[in-house]
Amino acid sequence: MSETVIRLLQPADHQPLAALMVEMQGHYAVPCPPVAEILAGLADLPAGVDILVAVKAEAVLGFASACNLYPGPGLKSGFFLKEIYVADAARGAGLGRKLMTALAELALERGHRRIDWTADADDAALLRFYDGLGAAASPKKVFYRLTGDALADLAGR
C-alpha cells in the first residue's frame, strides 16, 4: 500500500488538485469556476504562493495554500494560510495535521516567524483542530474583506 506524501505542488498534480478544488467548492456550497479556469490559475500561480499537497497513489487528498507576508514580528517574514482542505473521503486520517506540520517546517526553513490564518467562528470542529495544533486565537484582531462593488468603488471604477 502506498504512503501519503506531503510535498510542494508539481505540474502533474494540477488535474487532481483541480478536481479536489471542485469538491471543496461544493463542500462550502459556493460557486465554482470551470475546471479549465482552475487549471489556468494553477499553471500561473502568483509569485509568493506555495501549495502543499497530500498525495497518495497520484491522488491529491488534501492541500494547503499559503502566501508569503512581510513584515511580521521583528520585521521578519511569515506565511498567511489561505486555505487548507482535505477530501471528504480522506478525513479523520490526520492529513490536515500533516499538511499543517509540513507548512510549519517550510515556514521555518524559509526563516518565517509565524503562520497566520482565519477560521469560521461557528465551525467548532475546525476550531478544535486548530487549538489541537497549539495555535492561539487572536481575539484582538478583526478580519476585513473588500470585494465586489466595495472593491471597485475604492479603486475608483
- Please tell me the total count of domains within the chain: 1
Confidence category of residue 33, pLDDT binned at 50, 70, 90: very high
**Which helix or strand (DSSP H or E) is residue 69 part of?**
strand 59-69
- Give the residue ranges of DSSP H helices in 28-154: 35-43, 95-109, 124-132, 148-154
The pTM (predicted TM-score) of the whole model is 0.92
**Domain harbouring 77, CATH code:** 3.40.630.30
Strand partners, 79: 68, 115
Nearest-angstrom CA–CA distance, 92 and 29: 21
- Residue 63: give the domain boundaries: 5-154
pLDDT digits (tens, 9 = 90+) for 44-102: 999 999 999 999 998 999 999 999 999 987 899 999 999 999 999 999 999 999 999 99
